[in-house]
Structure 1
Amino acid sequence: MRLQAAIDRVTVDRAAEIIDQTHGCADIIEVGTSLIKDYGLAGSVKVLKEKYPEQCILADIKTCDEGEYEFRKTYEAGGDIPTIMGFSSVSTLKACQKVAEEFQKEYMIDLLEVSDDKLEILKKEFPEAIFCVHLPSDDQGVGLEELVKHMCMKLTGVEKIAVAGGVKLENIDLMKRYGIDTVIVGGAISKAADIREAAEAFAQEIRRQK
């Protein structure tokens, strides 16, 4: 199981400070959507990748159109894992898949508001993708356990599943039970009084053997 630390709604300098404090704990650093909107790919993803070249960086660009262009620009900026919304057209998804194959990189499909019929298409056409079960941030973590249980039944056969949305330390056992590949943690790390301590606690819990 991988730990992804999501960083959003801060300055790039503050993002760098958070990366310093999560070093050795977070397998993936997520440069959040608002951070990218505020500073652009060049001012956020590119800057942070150049500063931390060994760090795997997910760029939460939330592509829903112009797939080839946006994915290419993200990879060229140093992003390792761009995101695309699962409700996007299949042609847009395939364009993203093609660019990911070209760069030999991962990509994530965000399942926010994806219908059951569309989910079956995604499973069939994009088996190599990371599928992100996403509880909206506006829900403030309410209903996460029920969503994970429900979605994991529908995602049978999917190799890589990520979970985002109000994840807390006490949720890690649930993630282990359902074989989640990537746990995405936002405020529980980035807004903690002691970021290093919080990151270490998540990393230890994820790596703890039952």
Structure 2
Amino acid sequence: MRLQAAIDRVTVEQAAEIIEQTHGYADIIEVGTSLIKDFGLAGSVKVLKEKYPDQCILADIKTCDEGEYEFRKTYEAGGDIPTVMGFSSIPTLKACQCIAKELGKEYMIDLLEVSDEKLEVLKKEFPEAIFCVHLPSDNQGIGLEELVQHMCEKLSGVDKIAVAGGVKLDNIALMDRCGIDIVIVGGAISKANDVGEATQAFAKEIRRQKLW
């Protein structure tokens, strides 16, 4: 299981400070949508990748159109994993897939508001993607465990599943049982009094699950 620390609604300087504290414990750093909207790819993803070249960076661009252009620009800026919304058209998703394959990169499909029928199509057409089970932020973490259990049944056969939206230390065991590949942690890390300590706690809990 990989740990992804999501950074949102801060300045780029503050994001760099958070990365400094998570360094060595977070497998992936998410440059959140608000950071990208506020500062652009060049002012957020590119700056942070240049500062931390060995850090895997997910750029949460939430593409829903212009797939080829947005994915190529994100990879050029130093993003390792861009995101595309699963409710996008199949041609848009295919364009994203094509650029990712061309560059030998990972990409994530966000399953927010994706119907069961569309999900079956996504599983068939994009088997190499990371599928992100996403509880909306506005839900404030309520219903995450039920959503994960439900979606993992629907995602049977998928190699890489991520979970976002209210992930806490006490539900890491559930994520492990459900075969989750990436747990995405936002405020529980970025808003913690001690970011480094919080990141270490998640990393240790993930390692503890591996030993069981």
TM-score bracket, normalised by the shorter chain, equals over 0.9
Partner of 1:50: 50
Q: Distance in 1 between matches of 2:126 and 2:63?
A: 16
Amino acid at match of 1:164: A
Letter in 2 for 1:58: L
CA distance in 1: counterparts of 2:207 and 2:135, whole angstroms: 24
Equivalent position SS for 1:202? helix
Q: What are the residue-to-residue correspondences of 1:10-49 with 2, within 5 Å?
A: 10-49=10-49
Deviation by residue 1:127-169 (Cα, 9 ceiling, x = unmatched): 0000000000000000000000000000000000000001111
State the one-letter code of the partner of 1:181: D
In 1, the alpha carbon distance for the partners of 2:50 and 2:72 equals 17
- Distance in 2 of aligned mates of 1:59 and 1:184: 13
SS at match of 1:42: helix
Q: Distance in 2 between the 1:165 and 1:193 partners?
A: 20
- Match of 1:166, SS state, is coil
C-alpha distance in 1 between matches for 2:161 and 2:102? 22
Match of residue 203 from structure 1:
203
**Deviation at residue 60 of structure 1 after TM alignment:** 0.1
- What's the TM-score, normalizing by structure 1? 1.00
What's the counterpart of residue 189 of structure 1?
A: 189
Matched, 1:134 2:134: yes
Distance 1:44 1:35 in 2: 6
Q: Aligned pairs, how many?
A: 210
TM-superposed deviation, 1:63? 0.1
Q: Counterparts in 2 of 1:1-210, with a 5 A limit?
A: 1-208=1-208, 209-210=211-212
CA offsets 1:34-58 (integer angstroms, 9 cap, x no match): 0000000000000000000000000
Q: How many Å separate the matches in 1 of 2:207 and 2:77?
A: 31
- Normalization by structure 2: what TM-score? 0.99
SS in 2 for 1:87: coil
Name the aligned partner's letter for residue 5 of structure 2.
A
Amino acid at match of 1:117: E
Using the TM superposition, give the Cα deviation of residue 30 of structure 1 relative to its aligned residue in structure 2, in angstroms.
0.1
Q: CA RMSD in A?
A: 0.3
Structure 1 segments unaligned to the other structure (5+ residues): none
The amino acid across from 1:44 in the alignment is S
What amino acid is aligned across from residue 144 of structure 1 in structure 2? Answer: L
**Paired amino acid for 2:25:** C
* Partner Cα distance (1:33, 1:148) in 2: 23
CA offsets per residue over residues 60-107 of structure 1, 9 Å max, x none? 000000000000000000000000000000000000000000110000
Mapped to 1, the partners of 2:65 and 2:182 lie a distance apart of 25
